[in-house]
Amino acid sequence: MTEPPDQQAKRPTFAGWMGALWLYSILRFAMFFALWGLLLLAGLGGLFAAFIALVLSIPLSLVLLSRPRARVAANLEQRVNAHRQARAELDSRLNPDELD
């Protein structure tokens, strides 16, 4: 069966989901390494600077990376909803007499 064009546009793609996930991950790593580099330049030791950068990058990513994180969450929600809808359609085709 073919879907209407508006339904096809709403279907999540694996590439879109992975692209958003990779972007968010790269931004998180970049934030950590930028903080680590700044702390090293400030004169902190290597491992201690890495620990402080880790502790600082968590709350900063919650604030500064809210849009990419929201995009990942929205893509994941779309994928789950599409899976549930496909499952419901399959269930209705396999057992059309059953009423929910």
Helix pair angle (14-41, 66-94), 10° resolution: 160
Residue 41 lies in a domain: yes
Residue 74 has pLDDT above 50, yes or no: yes
Give the residue with greater pLDDT, 56 vs 6: 56
Q: What is the DSSP letter of 3?
A: P
CA-nearest of 80, 79, 56, 71 to 25 is 71
Residue 89 has pLDDT above 50, yes or no: yes
Residue 86 lies in a domain: yes
Residue 99 lies in a domain: no
Q: Residue 64's CB: how many other CB atoms inside 10 A? A: 14
Residue 64 lies in a domain: yes
Q: Which domain holds residue 47?
A: 13-93
Domain count, the chain: 1
Convert the pLDDT of each residue in 25-59 to its tens digit.
Answer: 999 999 999 999 999 999 998 899 999 999 999 99
Residue 1 has pLDDT above 50, yes or no: no
Which pTM does this prediction carry?
A: 0.70
